């Protein structure tokens, strides 16, 4: 099975320092939905792993998070793609849970659910914590410069062998080349 793990905010959709709290605030990054469809068309299963501390902070509830994800699924389907699963951490950072990236809990759950080793599985994110979670399970980290990606690159200290691309679409172009 070919699997790829994507972060949500800043990779698939525009990010916000004030959180994506409603479906209306969820807006795809140009080319990201089509990139997911291209992955599907070449046999990849696409999984999203996203920290959603807005739930834990009380900024939105689970029903709203589900509505945001329903909009994302519908938007991807409209261009001929699909997201096979969405894994999320609803906890605030203060909870110090095992599932919030940079911890590997969500990724371990993905490995268990799909019965697959994540060694060398491509993992795309825009923040250092995305890359750190990937490395913790032996996955291959990819940094996109959308969302917080440019700031992440400027801050340095990227994990060894991190690939860097302008956006999800250009990363997928290279993956499928």
Reported as a pLDDT band with limits 50, 70 and 90, residue 19 is very high
The dihedral through the CA atoms of 78, 79, 82, 86 has a sign that is negative
**pLDDT given at position 74:** 98
pLDDT at 93 over 90: no
Percent of the chain whose predicted confidence (pLDDT) is above 70: 100
d(CA 71, CA 176): 26
Average pLDDT, the chain: 97
What's the Cα-to-Cα distance from 144 to each of 50, 113, 149, 150, rounded to whole Å?
Answer: 15, 26, 5, 8
Q: Are 84 and 47 in contact (CB under 8 A)?
A: yes
- Helix residue spans in the chain (DSSP H): 32-41, 53-56, 62-78, 105-114, 128-136, 149-155, 168-175
**pLDDT given at position 60:** 94
For residue 3, list its beta bridge partners. Answer: 45
Percent of the chain whose predicted confidence (pLDDT) is above 90: 96
Domain holding 131: CATH number?
Answer: 3.40.50.1000
pLDDT digits (tens, 9 = 90+) for 140-177: 999 999 999 999 999 999 999 999 999 999 999 999 99
pLDDT digits (tens, 9 = 90+) for 99-132: 999 999 999 999 999 999 999 999 999 999 999 9
* Catalytic residue set: 7, 9
Nearest to 129, CA basis, from 149, 154, 108, 146: 149
What's the Cα-to-Cα distance from 88 to each of 91, 127, 150, rounded to whole Å?
Answer: 9, 16, 23
pLDDT digits (tens, 9 = 90+) for 45-69: 999 999 999 999 999 999 999 999 9
**pLDDT given at position 46:** 98
Q: Are 47 and 39 in contact (CB under 8 A)?
A: no
pLDDT at 98 over 90: yes
Enclosing domain of residue 121? 2-175
Number of domains, the chain: 1
What's the Cα-to-Cα distance from 76 to each of 71, 88, 117, 119, rounded to whole Å?
Answer: 9, 18, 26, 27
**pLDDT given at position 40:** 98
């Amino acid at each position: 099975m070919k699997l790829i793990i994507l972060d949500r905010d800043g990779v698939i959709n525009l990010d916000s320092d004030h959180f994506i709290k409603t479906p209306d605030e969820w807006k795809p990054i140009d080319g990201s939905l089509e990139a997911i469809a291209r992955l599907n068309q070449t046999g990849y299963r696409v999984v999203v792993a996203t920290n959603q501390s807005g739930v834990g902070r009380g900024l939105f509830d689970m029903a709203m998070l589900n509505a945001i994800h329903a909009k994302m699924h519908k938007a991807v389907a409209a261009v001929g793609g699909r997201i096979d699963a969405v894994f999320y951490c609803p906890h605030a950072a203060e909870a110090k849970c095992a599932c919030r990236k940079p911890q590997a809990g969500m990724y371990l759950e993905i490995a268990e659910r799909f019965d697959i080793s994540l060694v060398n599985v491509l993992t795309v994110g825009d923040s250092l914590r995305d890359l750190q979670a990937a490395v913790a399970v032996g996955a291959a980290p990819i940094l996109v410069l959308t969302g917080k990606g440019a700031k992440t690159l400027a801050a340095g200290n990227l994990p060894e062998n991190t690939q860097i691309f302008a956006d999800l679409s250009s990363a997928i172009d290279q993956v499928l080349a």
